[in-house]
């Protein structure tokens, strides 16, 4: 534990800096906080113990301080940090943390409860392969979500074009104007290249 005023301006991670479902949204500054904080090191895994159903966790690749509502896990080489971070996000672990949290309005899971969590530890080579496969699957999931978002945008664009067409707002008499279908094709091509 450390009082931030004793630390030189360093990275600060609070619950608000962790994404729901895992990951880091942004990084705060330690000079903005006054209360007691916990030190973390590059390679540590941070886990939000407040409202564990939000599933806030991430592996960090820098040193800093964090809110006391965040647990700091250091694997000491026994378990891949990436694998631990991924494991903390699986539904079974989220459910375990929720079932064992205390408090009505602001439920918290205790460090003791989380330290009792059984974590399978495969050999190091298998850990690397598991992380590689999961990273690939998560990349595909992100791509699929982007395609779904694009399909929803196309649906909205189609409805907008039809609405304008029925109101007589499409097209002009200017021969230099690009045909609507060409504009749509160009727009879709630009989105696919992003």
pLDDT 10s digits, 140-151: 777 778 788 888
Residues 39 and 127 in one domain: no
Q: How confident is the model at residue 153 (pLDDT cuts 50, 70, 90)?
A: confident
Minimal CA–CA distance to 108: which of 149, 166, 74, 68? 68
Residue with the larger pLDDT of the pair 45 and 133: 45
Axis-axis angle for helices 180-192, 124-167 (nearest 10): 160
Mean per-residue pLDDT of the chain? 84
Element of type H or E holding 96: helix 91-99
Number of domains, the chain: 2
| Domain of 93, in residue numbers | 4-121
Residues 12 and 105 in one domain: yes
- Asked if residue 172 has pLDDT above 70, the reply is no
Residues 31 and 71 in one domain: yes
Prediction pTM value? 0.69
Residue that finishes a domain, picked among 121, 145, 174: 121
Residues 173 and 81 in one domain: no
Other beta carbons within 10 Å of 37: 23
Residues 115 and 167 in one domain: no
- Return d(Cα 17, Cα 25) in angstroms, integer: 5
Residues 54 and 115 in one domain: yes
């Amino acid at each position: 534990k450390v009082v931030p005023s004793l630390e030189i301006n360093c990275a600060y991670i609070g619950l608000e800096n962790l994404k729901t479902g895992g990951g880091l949204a942004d990084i705060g500054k330690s000079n903005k906080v006054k209360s007691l904080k916990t030190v973390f090191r590059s390679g540590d895994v941070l886990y939000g113990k407040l409202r564990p159903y939000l599933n806030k966790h991430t592996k960090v690749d820098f040193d800093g301080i964090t809110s006391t509502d965040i647990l700091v896990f250091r694997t000491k080489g026994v378990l891949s940090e990436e694998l631990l971070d991924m494991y903390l996000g699986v539904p079974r672990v989220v459910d375990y943390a929720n079932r064992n949290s205390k408090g009505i309005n602001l439920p918290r899971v205790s460090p003791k409860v989380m330290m009792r969590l059984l974590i399978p530890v495969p050999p190091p080579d298998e850990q690397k392969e598991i992380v590689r496969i999961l990273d690939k699957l998560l990349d595909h999931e992100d791509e699929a979500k982007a395609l779904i978002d694009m399909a929803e945008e196309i649906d909205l664009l189609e409805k907008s074009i039809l609405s304008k067409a029925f109101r007589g707002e499409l097209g002009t008499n200017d021969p230099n104007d690009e045909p609507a279908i060409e504009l749509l094709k160009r727009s879709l091509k630009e989105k696919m290249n992003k």
